[in-house]
Structure 1
Amino acid sequence: MASGGFSFKAYSLFDTLVWIACLNVLWIIFTVLGGVVFGFGPSTAAAQLLVRDKVRGGAAPLVRRFAREYARNFGKGNALGFPLVAVGVALTLNWDYFSAGWDLGSQIASTGLFMMALFGAGVACYLFPMFARYHLSVPQYFLMSSRFAMRHLAGTVILVFVTAAALFVCRSVPGLIPFFGIGAWLYVTGWLCDRFFTANDEAMAGALSADAPAGTPAAGATAAVVTRGAGIA
């Protein structure tokens, strides 16, 4: 029994690693096909939709599903991705400028920009997994991701740490990037966000059910609505 259990776990681990590697390759290919700038957002949106299915036990064909979700969410993916790129570039350029100065004002500004970048990284980690789970407008995704990042600081710290660790490993071993670097980050952050959102939805549903009068159908119906976006922050 123990040997069988170990064999099953080893097979599951190997299967997940192969799946992550395939996701990594697909993300790179479709990002390049979109000219990088126009491919980053749709590729990330498609990847997080597949990650959510994977962590929930789904087994849809990877290539076909990725291509379908990439095309279906091309516009919305870019609407989510462009602001992230713009803010990231702006923060980087400003930090480079102020960090080069040695006066007190420059150091304060560079520290503030660094803290803003950390918070922005946390918001970015939530953004596309939230897109994969909830049906919201584009402005609401940014608003809810920001609110979730502020209200769930422990989870935000974990996501930022995972991101920093992924960047460190990829910089230390660049050969991992074409095979696992991006896919592993997408998978781990998507898995973590799915757990965070589920815990939050269950807490919100429990609170609403407790507030509703006993025996009313509104209690169960409201709990179902919460998971569609109203109670994510």
Structure 2
Amino acid sequence: MGFEGIVWKLYDLSNWIMKMILLNILWIVFSIIGLVIFGFFPATAAMFAVTRKWVLGETDIPVYKTFVKTYKSSFTQMNLIGGILSILGLFLYIDLRFFQTTEYILLSFLSFFIIFAMFIYFAVVLYIFPMYVHFECKTLEYLKRSIIIVLGKPIHTIMMIVGSYLVYVVISMIPVLVVFISGSLLSLVLMWIAMKSFPRYEIKVGEIE
């Protein structure tokens, strides 16, 4: 590879880094605009909508325009999905704490079932955003499909969890990356893995234009 080739490679790399940084900043800003509680889920869906395009090879899309359009169109439904997931997560946590602190040995064993349920819950949360931007379903159908894929594609589910952990390790080693590429990097990794697990025969109708 000649000098000119190296220059172009460096240009492509810097261009990708800038896109990742822009997407991450948009994710943080729009989460804050929605007061975090109402902004996190639609902002995260918007971020996944952008990375989905990248995974499909559409690398020249307008990041800001795609993000904002998805944020607005997904605001209500993603907050509804987020509310359901938050309630389920709180319910599982309370149950786990109860079974772990109970004095009855038989009941304490039930905590293992709750831990398993929390594992499934965590995997569903990882899948819900790729699922949302890839398919067009009713609200509860997204949860149902995510559970089916989590249980039906165990290898991909493990890859999603391991991928999330590796991103966490990288960010932990370089904390400054939290502001710059933490969310965008995680969404890119998860979207790429999720696309491998989605049924190939299904038409991608969930794309938000």
Q: Residues of 2 paired with 1:142 and 1:44: CA distance?
A: 16
After TM superposition, give the deviation of residue 104 of structure 1 in Å.
Answer: 3.4
Q: Which has the larger radius of gyration?
A: 1
Q: Structure 1-normalised TM-score?
A: 0.76
Question: Structure 1 pair 2/130, CA: closer, same or farther in 2 (3 Å)?
Answer: farther
1:31: how far off?
0.9
Question: Do 2:42 and 2:78's aligned partners in 1 also have CA atoms closer than 8 Å?
Answer: yes
CA–CA separation in structure 2 for the residues paired with 1:86 and 1:57: 36
2:100 corresponding residue in structure 1: 99
Count of aligned pairs: 204
Moved segments of 4+, more than 4 Å: 2-10, 100-103, 168-173
Is the Cα–Cα contact under 8 Å of residues 118 and 160 in structure 1 kept in the other structure? no
Residue 142 (structure 1) aligns with? 143
The 1:168–1:109 alpha-carbon spacing in structure 2 relative to 1, beyond 3 Å, is farther
Task: Please say if 1:113 is aligned against 2:114.
Answer: yes
Rounded Cα–Cα distance in structure 1 between residues aligned with 2:90 and 2:51: 27
The structure with the largest helix share of the pair is 1
Residue 41 of structure 2 corresponds to 41
- Which of 196, 203, 208 matches 1:227? 203
Which residue number in structure 2 is paired with residue 60 of structure 1? 61
What does residue range 1-233 of structure 1 map to in structure 2 within 5 Å? Answer: 1=1, 7-58=7-58, 59-100=60-101, 104-105=105-106, 107-171=108-172, 173-197=174-198, 200-201=199-200, 205=201, 226-228=202-204
Separation in 2, partners of 1:91, 1:165: 25
Alignment partner of 1:136: what SS?
A: coil
Alpha-carbon deviation of 1:158? 0.7
Higher relative contact order (CA 8 A, sep 6+): 2
TM-score normalised per structure 2: 0.84
Amino acid at match of 1:227: I
Distance 1:122 1:196 in 2: 13
Between stretches 17-26 and 171-180, larger displacement belongs to 171-180
Secondary structure in 2 aligned to 1:35? Answer: coil
Question: Contact between 1:44 and 1:77, CA under 8 Å: does it hold in 2?
Answer: no
Give unpaired runs (5+ residues) of structure 2. Answer: none
Whole-angstrom CA distance in 2 between matches of 1:87 and 1:148: 19
